[in-house]
């Protein structure tokens, strides 16, 4: 379940009916603000919680991780897994016991996947959206915006974005599948002024010893 995490396609079946078919101007104003702030960031580092909940049988799983983002580059760290994206190449590194492997792909081949950087702009193409409302959690006012895909063939049918109203920070999102499951992502701590060197987003096999390399480019 967790091996692909953020860059997995999450290929869901088509949603039978969309509850709306327009772009809410209030939601767009919020999303534009979040996207514009993201573009001005020097770099972002955050720790996060990830969980999957099956609403049908009540099963759930959870995991924690760390993420660094700079423009279209990101470096995701999870137990037994790391994903590097330097804007051109994506390395997915997996370590289990004594086994180590890295799979290499062109970043352009993964443009349709929801990544730590593309989540800030996903609403700009192929989605309708609306502001669902506001709620307060730990004295933070959170605005919730629902996105529904325009085309039935889209890889993500429904996404719920959670935005810090005051700071205009994306603090979490949820992806709903058609089997009664919800993927949830929550930032726990965010540094939006992180100084991150570009080589942090490139996989260096020399640091990992003996490793199987699977080059799919």
- pLDDT value at residue 7: 38
Number of domains forming the structure of the chain:
1
Within a domain: 7: no
Within a domain: 135: yes
Within a domain: 22: yes
- pLDDT value at residue 155: 62
Closest C-alpha to 78, from 92, 90, 89, 97? 92
Q: What are phi and psi of 11, to 5 degrees?
A: -80, 100
Within a domain: 3: no
Within a domain: 2: no
Domain range for 174 = 12-215
User: Does residue 9 surpass a pLDDT of 70?
Assistant: no
Task: Convert the pLDDT of each residue in 37-69 to its tens digit.
Answer: 988 889 999 999 988 888 778 788 888 999 999
Q: What is the overall mean pLDDT for the chain?
A: 84
CA atoms of 152 and 76, how far apart (whole Å): 29
Within a domain: 195: yes
Residue indicated by tokens 């919730």: 144
User: Does residue 20 surpass a pLDDT of 50?
Assistant: no
What band does 154 get if pLDDT is binned at 50, 70 and 90?
low
CATH number at residue 118: 2.50.20.10
Torsion over CA of 61, 203, 172 and 23, rounded to 10 degrees?
Answer: -120
């Amino acid at each position: 379940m967790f091996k692909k995490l953020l860059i997995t396609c999450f290929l869901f079946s088509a949603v039978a009916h969309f509850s709306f078919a327009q772009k809410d101007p209030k939601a767009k104003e919020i999303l534009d603000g979040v996207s514009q702030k993201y573009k001005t960031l020097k770099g972002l580092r955050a720790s996060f919680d990830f969980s999957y909940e099956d609403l049908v049988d009540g099963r759930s799983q959870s995991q924690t991780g760390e993420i660094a983002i700079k423009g279209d580059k990101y470096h995701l760290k999870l137990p037994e897994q790391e994903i590097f994206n330097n804007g051109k190449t994506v390395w997915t590194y997996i370590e289990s016991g004594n086994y180590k492997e890295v799979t290499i792909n062109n970043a352009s081949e993964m443009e349709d996947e929801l990544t730590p950087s593309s989540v800030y702009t996903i609403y700009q193409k192929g989605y309708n959206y609306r502001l669902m409302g506001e709620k307060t959690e730990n004295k933070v006012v959170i605005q919730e915006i629902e996105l529904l895909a325009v085309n039935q063939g889209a890889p993500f049918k429904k996404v719920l974005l959670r935005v810090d109203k005051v700071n205009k920070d994306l603090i979490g999102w949820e992806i709903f599948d058609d089997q009664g499951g919800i993927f949830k992502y929550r930032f726990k701590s965010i540094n939006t002024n992180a100084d991150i060197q570009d080589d942090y987003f490139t996989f260096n096999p020399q640091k990992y010893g003996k490793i199987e390399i699977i080059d799919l480019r």
